[in-house]
Amino acid sequence: MNPAPAVAAKTRASVIDDASARAKAIAAAGDLFYARGIQSVGMDTLSRDAGIGLKRLYQLFPSKEAIVEQVLAARHEKWTTGLDTAARRAPTPRDKLLAIFDFLGEWFASDGFRGCVFINSFGELGGKSPRIAEIARAHKQQFQHYLAELAADAGAPAFLAPQLALLAEGAQTTAAISGADSAADARAAAVTLIDAALGTQAR
């Protein structure tokens, strides 16, 4: 009848319930890992920043690596949702493809932007952690797939989506490292590639 109180009854003396504590920890870990890199952030720092004791942290997560994985899963969810929201607002399939680059532009301009967390994590840990490498690979593949759907909706040939993906990836690293407004460059290039691809179609 009342499932939420039932859960609360199980963890009697908790200041906050497990789900909220987990969410707080993942949010804090996401910010810390993104800003400083994963290995540079110790569990003590995470405990302090999240406001959750070390003991509870290790009751909620089996290891730091598990936290990393859940952070990446959360960031993937956030990315996918943001992308889809931006694309949904655009009226035509062509506009949906371009909306991706507007979405990137807003992201690049946000405070603390430091590139794609999947690219960063892959560079830092992909060489020694197959799990992290696979998570990054899956994330990028899903983006490719999403782009391919949008491109197909626009009636474009199959080669367009990978080309636009390269622009988006390049814009992320360039904006992070060089601080340039690479979203605008990427968008302009995307217009050219899209028009060229649609022009080659025998419609």
Q: Are 45 and 25 in contact (CB under 8 A)?
A: no
How many residues in the shown chain lie near its own copies by CB under 8 A? Answer: 50
Q: Does the protein bind its own copies through residue 141 (CB under 8 A)?
A: yes
Beta carbons within 8 Å of 25's beta carbon, 6+ residues apart: 46, 50, 52, 57, 60, 61, 67
Two tokens, residue 143 = 């983006």
Q: Which region among 15-23, 77-85, 113-121, 146-154 touches its own copies (by CB under 8 A)?
A: 113-121
Identified binder of its own copies from the candidate list 26, 28, 68, 168, rule CB under 8 A = 168
Q: Minimum distance between the CB of residue 115 and its own copies, rounded to whole angstroms?
A: 6
Distance of closest approach, residue 51 Cβ to DNA, in angstroms: 6
Burial of 141 (0-12, 13-18, 19+ CB in 10 A): exposed
Concatenated DSSP letters of 58-124: HHH-S-HHHHHHHHHHHHHHHHHHHHHHHHHHSSSHHHHHHHHHHHHHHHHHSTT--S-HHHHHHHH
Q: Which does 115 bind (CB under 5 to 8 A by kind): its own copies, DNA, none?
A: its own copies
Which span sits near DNA by CB under 7 A: 46-54, 93-101, 156-164, 193-201? 46-54
Span of 57-65, 138-146, 160-168, 192-200 interacting with DNA by CB under 7 A: 57-65
Query: Using CB under 7 A, which residues numbered 3 to 22 contact DNA?
Result: 9, 11-16, 18, 21
185 binds its own copies (CB under 8 A): yes
Tell me the three state secondary structure of residue 37.
coil
The reply to whether 201 sits near its own copies by the rule CB under 8 A is: no
Tell me how crowded residue 45 is: count the other CB atoms within 10 A of its CB: 14
- Segment lying near its own copies (by CB under 8 A), choices 17-25, 82-90, 145-153, 178-186: 178-186
